[in-house]
Amino acid sequence: MSTTSPPLSARQIARRRRTAAWRRNWALFRGHRAGLVGLCILAVFVVVALAAPLLADGEGLKVTKATGGVLESPSGEFWLGTDESGRSVLTMLIWGTRISLLVGLLATAISMVIGTVVGLVAGFFEGWTSRLLYRLTEWFLVIPFLPLAIILAVVLGRSLLNIAIVIGVTSWPATALLIRSQTLSIKERPYLERARVLGAGRWHQMTRHVLPNVMPMVFANTTLTVAVAILSETTLSFLGLGDPGRVSWGSMLEGAFGVGAMTTGSWWYIVPPGICVVLVVLAFTLIGQALEEVFNPRLRER
């Protein structure tokens, strides 16, 4: 058998193992009905976000180009009615998908980078750096999110990037704690001791040994963080801290609340954006939980 096939290079072996691991994990993931449902819901929203220009005319977002009446109820022309300036709610919903997903992903990327770096360093190093970082993480975890986000958003000003920064900077501590505890346990394993004995530097140990091992957890955690980030974006936009020039689900709800849509019975302006938020957040949560079970054998046994 192996005598006939040519010897594989280290890279090839690694690649083979990695593909096998992916296949195994995908098979495990497929066994999760809830996770698959989440994936399908998410796929629909991603398609809508990408195809937004095909589904609805972007001009419909401009208040000056609005064709409908004020808060018209759903009709053949406006499937989901109109808002207070006569824009189609459906058009806003479709284009809002882009902004909500974009801010959610951007904020998550920021949060993951900070969380992973802080967690790795806090877990890998010893002494005061580690202790200081750990305290900082605890601090961010304890401080109430919204008041901190509000003062940050007020200080930074209102723009798409700023709102993502605000959410990213306030939502990393959970990730950092997770990565730190994983790093602490990986650090003690024999193969890392071996690497140290062979003269591996800290950078090599961290990037080649610790990081690849915590990556699955980071991945599972990322999907859960996106859910949190999208919820946060919605809340901050609702409070009027979002980008004033762009339509997101949160800013639509801000508009709906501003004109008192719930007292005038304009349900089409309140219900659809909220349902979209719930569906997307639910989708990310379900996928994240399924991934956690795939990557964490201890949870799988349940």
Partner 1 sequence: MTTLAAAAGTEAAPEPAEASGPRRSFGRYLAGKVLGALGSLLFVLVVNFFLFRVLPGDPARSLTRGRVVSKEQMDAFREQYGLDQPLAQQFLTYLKNTAQGDLGVSIRYNVPVSELIVDRMWPTIALVGVSTLLATVIGVYLGMVSAWRRGGGFDRFSTGITLTLYSMPEWWLGLLLIAGLSVGFGPLPGIFPTGGLNSIDADPSSLSGMLDSAWHLTLPVITLTLAYLAEYSLIMRSSLLDELGENYLTTARAKGLRDVEVRRRHAVPNALLPTTTLAALNIGFVVSGAITIETIFSIPGLGLLSYEALSIPDYDVLQGTFLLASGAVIVANLVANLIYGVLDPRVRT
Q: Tell me which residues touch partner 1 (CB under 8 A).
A: 135, 138-139, 141-148, 150-156, 171, 173-175, 177-178, 181-182, 184-185, 188, 221, 224-225, 227-228, 231-232, 234-235, 238-241, 253, 256-257, 262-263, 265, 267, 270-271, 274, 277-278, 281-282, 285-286, 292, 301-302
Task: Look up residue 113 and give its two tokens.
Answer: 């980078």
DSSP assigned state of 7 = P
Nearer to partner 1 (CB atom), residue 66 or residue 121: 121
Shortest reach from residue 258's CB to partner 1, in Å: 11
Of 88 and 285, the one with the shorter C-beta distance to partner 1 is 285
Q: How far is CA 85 from CA 41, 265, 283, in A?
A: 30, 17, 32
Instruction: Rank residues 48 and 254 by Cβ distance to partner 1 and give the closer one.
Output: 254
- Least Å distance, CB 291 to partner 1, is 11
Smallest separation (angstroms) from partner 1 to the CB of 181: 4
Which is nearer to partner 1, 49 or 270 (by Cβ)? 270
How far is the first Cα of the chain from the last one, in angstroms, to the nearest whole number? 39
Q: Minimum CB separation from partner 1 for residue 18, in Å? A: 25
Query: Cβ closer to partner 1: 60 or 123?
Result: 123
CA pair distance 210, 127, nearest whole angstrom: 19
| Strand partners of residue 88 | 82
Beta-carbon contacts of 249 under 8 Å, excluding residues fewer than 6 positions away, are: 93, 96, 97, 100, 234, 237, 273, 274, 276, 277
Residue closer to partner 1 by CB (options 138, 193) is: 138
The CA distance from 39 to 45, in Å, is 10
**Four-CA torsion 150, 139, 162, 53, nearest 10 degrees:** -100
Helix (H, G, I), strand (E, B) or coil at 82: strand
Q: Cβ of residue 115: shortest distance to partner 1, in angstroms?
A: 10
| Encoded tokens for 25 | 């994990």
CB of 152 to partner 1, least distance (A): 7
